[in-house]
Amino acid sequence: MKRIGIIAASLAVLMAASCSNGESVSPEAKALAPSKAQIDSVSYLVGVNFGTFIKGYNLGDLNMSEIQAGIKDLVSSTGNPRDPEFFDQFKISPELMQQLLNNYIEQRSKYVAAVNLDKEKDFFSKIASQPNVQKTESGLYYIINNPGAETKIAVDDDLYVHYKGTLPDGTEFDSTSEDGPSANFSLKGVIEGWKEGLQLIGDGGSIKLYIPSALGYGEYGQPNAGIEPNTPLIFDIQVDSLHKAAPATENK
């Protein structure tokens, strides 16, 4: 797993720090010891590394006392970690570590997905009651701020847009710069909510989309963008310009 290296590095620091615990050292050696400020900084860094692991895998609220117990057991351990009997000093064998972690991540993912489904229902019940909100048969909610040109956008058209994407709590996860260039793409390569919503307006139009997770990133979410499973998305989109696709020609 990609972040195991972070934990291994943190544990290496802890083990190295433990080597001098309780040992008698000469004044000359003691003078070379890291300062308290250095120890505090590295201690904080180790905590950040562990936090990166916890947050990266979305492990949720863990038992901090058990985390501390595991750290203490590691720091006070003796012997060579390469020896099989080294791990007899811990409550969990190395054979079970990966299995336990994988099982926990899978179970928590199911839990988060179920909780988010409940939140999504509550979210759209509130959206549905807002003025000017319309809904398609697929469950997409939208507000057309400006319909734009009479000819509607088609899937094959080449679009140039400015947009902002937010989560229900207001967190922005993606956007174009207000003063920067437009984003260019075809509707063929976007999520279903965009594909359906943008075909409701024409060139120069603007629309607000409330996209159900089923028309977004679904039960898997988009972890790299901070989007959890079953999370609805909100987009404000301004179509700056478009190039209509050339009409298909029949082969003679």
H, E, C per residue of 100-140: HHHHHHHHHHHHHHHHHHHHHHHHHHHHCCCCCCEECCCCC
Q: What would the DSSP string read from start to end of 187-238?
A: GGGS-HHHHHHHTTSBTT-EEEEEE-GGGTTTTT-BGGGTB-TT--EEEEEE
* Given the residues 123, 153, 235, 237, the one annotated as active site: 235
* Given the residues 141, 142, 163, 210, the one annotated as active site: 163
Annotation says 191 is catalytic: yes
Annotation says 217 is catalytic: yes
Note whether 176 and 183 are within 8 A (CB).
yes
Residues 167 and 163: their CA atoms lie apart, in Å, by 14
3-state secondary structure of 159: strand
Note whether 177 and 183 are within 8 A (CB).
no
* Given the residues 123, 142, 153, 191, the one annotated as active site: 191
Residues 55 and 132: their CA atoms lie apart, in Å, by 38
Annotation says 210 is catalytic: no
Furthest-apart CA pair in the chain: how many Å?
94
* Bridge partners (DSSP) listed for residue 237: 163, 207
Annotation says 61 is catalytic: no
Annotation says 104 is catalytic: no
How far, in whole angstroms, is CA 242 from its chain's centroid?
A: 31
- Supply the pTM of this predicted model: 0.74
Q: What is the pLDDT along the chain (252 residues), one digit of tens a residue?
A: 444 454 555 555 555 555 555 567 888 888 888 889 998 898 899 889 888 888 888 888 899 899 888 888 888 888 888 888 888 888 888 778 889 989 998 899 899 999 999 999 999 999 999 989 999 999 999 999 999 999 999 998 889 999 999 999 999 999 999 888 999 988 888 999 999 999 999 999 999 999 999 999 999 899 888 899 999 999 999 999 988 766 655 554
How far, in whole angstroms, is CA 138 from its chain's centroid?
A: 26
